[in-house]
Amino acid sequence: MIKPNQTDELLRVASENPTGFTINLTDFSPVKRGWAVALKDTQNCFGRAGAEKAIAIAIEKTASIVGGWHHDRGYYFDAVLIVEDEEEATRLGIENEQIGIYEIHTNTYKELIF
């Protein structure tokens, strides 16, 4: 269940981090390590409605982790799995039909071909 003001707080974080962010919704702290793998369920979630959907799915299916970035059409949001192992992250990325995964602590983007 989405808490009051949770969507507003996520939109604030997004506006302050247009190049991208990955946060824990419990305290809005940044995730600092691991591979970020977006869930297919939140593909093409943008704007306020997309933020609300990403929050709901993150609460249900991840450890309340959401990522996002700004693109031409506005802010995009994803429910995100954080995985330590690159091989597992790659497998999950392919299963979720992602074009790439991102290692947070090394700022490394890995393109996926599936």
Structural domain including 81 reads 6-111
- Please report whether residue 76 resides in a domain: yes
Q: Is residue 21 part of a domain?
A: yes
Per-residue pLDDT tens over the stretch 6-44: 999 999 999 999 999 999 999 999 999 999 999 999 999
1 domain residue, yes or no:
no
Kindly tell me if the per-residue pLDDT of 52 is higher than 70: yes
Beta-carbon count within 10 A of 32 CB:
9
Q: Virtual CA dihedral for 14, 59, 109, 103, nearest 10 degrees?
A: 110
Q: What is the pLDDT of residues 101-112, one digit of tens each?
A: 999 999 999 999
pLDDT digits (tens, 9 = 90+) for 68-103: 999 987 999 999 999 999 999 999 999 999 999 999
Burial of 55 from C-beta contacts in 10 A (0-12 / 13-18 / 19+): buried
Residues 70 and 19 sit within 8 Å (Cβ to Cβ): yes
Number of domains in the chain: 1
